[in-house]
Amino acid sequence: MLVGNAIYLDYQATTPIAPQVREAMAVYSEELFANPHSAHFLGHQAAEAVEVARAKVESFIGASAEEIIFTSGATEANNQAISSVLFANTTKRNKILISAIEHKCIKNAAYFFAHKLGYQVAEIPVASDGMLDMQAYQSMLNDQVLLVSIMAVNNEIGVIQPIQQLAESAHDVGALFHCDAAQAPEAIDLDVKELKVDMLSLSAHKVYGPKGIGALYINNALQAALPPFIHGGGQQFGLRSGTLPTGLAVGFATALDIAREGATHNRAWLAAMKQHFIEGLTQRSIDFTLNGKADNTHPGCLNIEFVNTDATALLAAMQPEVCASTGSACNSAFTQASHVLLAMGLTEAQATSSLRFSFGRYTDLPQIDRALDIIQQRLARF
């Protein structure tokens, strides 16, 4: 995708809204703007649209009726999943397990709520390819564990974890299992019953839907035991109050419909783009190392270490022509290496030499060739 002259290779940060999604949403900011919780016919029309959207999101992940609630995104869904399980706990279990490569919104929420409510957090290590260390996981599981949270698809290196197996192991010791699946819809099929997860988080803007909406799946059997996350008028089965954004819900559901219909084609397209990028790096004799597992990963995600190069400076040198991502959190005083790459055993220097390129439905071969030429030119300046 070109934005002006800029080549956009940052689809895992966010995707543009698909034209069909924009079209489906338009009517809800115009004549169908009514509050979906209002007791008049315009309100009923909006409520009907929300419930159709809810059913579509449920169907996308194989959930039963009334098993998802709309949230503002995956950050909120993840915060709700962790905090509500801790608040509801009436057992002596006092541990949360998360993987060492979770998104910051799982990590920070887990530590915050655990600290406030008297729980411990332990991080499950990963191997050098980013896959969870199964032996370590098994040894950390015991009857003290209340909740396990492991992401389906990593946002920096694209590794796909065996969620069904991980959830079954958690259940074997009586723990609940939550999965952050924000990056999953473009990479893998999702079926919450097959995966055996108790809770699962989604985000619309990672799948060509609008920003500001996501969803939390909560298994029916668990729902009644959980307290509300946002208190108010009792919307969404009493679990998450607030007026529902009809247009965003419809846009999200439409985006998932499109993702499902185009999954096979889209994944093959992304894989071809990724392959072309890797080959192009080699053809241009660029000194690089691939971070993370080489196969069975998100087809559109590529994390590259540019050997002995400051990635933040390289990204800056590529502006305004190529948009990619460092995966590092920048502070005014220093650049912090990605916790994901460090957890895989990369050194600080290797981690801060790494950039993530993520491809999408609107990426094509000429864009990749041009981006590679620009990278090669800019690297020559270092």
Ligand X SMILES: Cc1ncc(COP(=O)(O)O)c(C=O)c1O
Tell me which residues touch ligand X (CB under 6 A): 73-75, 103, 105, 151, 155, 180, 182-183, 203, 214
Q: How far is the CA of 43 from the CAs of 21, 36, 38, in angstroms? A: 22, 5, 5
* Least distance in angstroms from the C-beta of 285 to ligand X: 32
Nearer Cβ to ligand X, position 197 or 317? 197
Query: How far apart are alpha carbons 226 and 218 in whole angstroms?
Result: 9
* Least distance in angstroms from the C-beta of 243 to ligand X: 19
Nearer Cβ to ligand X, position 121 or 372? 121
Q: Which residue number places its CB atom closest to ligand X?
A: 73
- CB-neighbour burial class of residue 334 (10 A; exposed 0-12, middle 13-18, buried 19+): exposed
Residue pointed to by tokens 């499902």: 260
Q: Record the tokens describing residue 77, joined without a space.
A: 């869904």
**Nearest CA to 229 among 88, 365, 23, 102?**
88
* Least distance in angstroms from the C-beta of 17 to ligand X: 14
Nearer Cβ to ligand X, position 28 or 252? 252
First to last CA, the chain: 27
* Least distance in angstroms from the C-beta of 186 to ligand X: 11
Residue 330 bears catalytic tag: yes
Query: How far apart are alpha carbons 271 and 300 in whole angstroms?
Result: 6
Nearer Cβ to ligand X, position 307 or 330? 330
Query: How far apart are alpha carbons 202 and 260 in whole angstroms?
Result: 14
Contact 327, 338 (CB under 8 A): yes
Q: Which member of 105, 301, 323, 330 is catalytic? A: 330
As annotated, the active-site residues are: 330
